[in-house]
Amino acid sequence: MCLAVPAKVKEIKGDIAKVDFGDGVTRDVNISLVDVAEGEYVIVHAGFAIQVLDKEEAEKTLKLWEELLSTAETSPSGKY
């Protein structure tokens, strides 16, 4: 029951947004727990968006991984 999955916000009407889970199926979710704009990604759990995915951080993470792996035995913690 605790699964939470990312979805793209298509349309917002008050506290309800139509979101796409990537399979083309749109569903209504409650967005009263987040501040989100159309086009952004949210994490949805039990019918509620619980966070907006931070695209910049996502890209930074990817970069960090690549960097980390190209250098020997550096701790990732220095950058966190």
Partner 1 sequence: MFRYRDSEVAKKIVEKLKGIDLKIRIMHVCGTHQDTIVRFGLDSLFKQSGIEVRQGPGCPVCVTTTREYEEAITMAKKGNVLATFGDAVRVPGRASSLLDLRAEGCDVRIVYSIEDAVNLAKKTGKNVIFLAVGFETTAPSTAVTLLRDPPENFTVLNCHRYVPPVLHALLEMGDLAIQGLLEPGHVSTIIGLRPYQMLSEKYHIPQVIAGFEPLDVLMGIYMLAQQIKKGEAKVENEYRRSVKPEGNVKALAVLEKVFEPVDLAWRGFPVVKASGMKLKNKFQNYDARKRFEDQLKELENMDFPEPKGCRCNEILRGLVNPQDCQLFARACTPSHPLGPCMVSIEGACQIEYKYGGGPR
Per-residue tokens: 73:
């035995």
Report which DSSP code applies to 3: -
The helix (H) or strand (E) run that includes residue 24 is none
Report which DSSP code applies to 55: H
- Amino acid making up residue 65: W
Binding mask 2-41 for partner 1 (x = CB under 8 A): xxx-x-x-------------x-------x-xxxx-----x
Residues that bind partner 1 (CB under 8 A): 1-4, 6, 8, 22, 30, 32-35, 41, 43, 45-48, 50-51, 53-55, 57-58, 60-62, 65-66, 69, 73, 75-77, 80
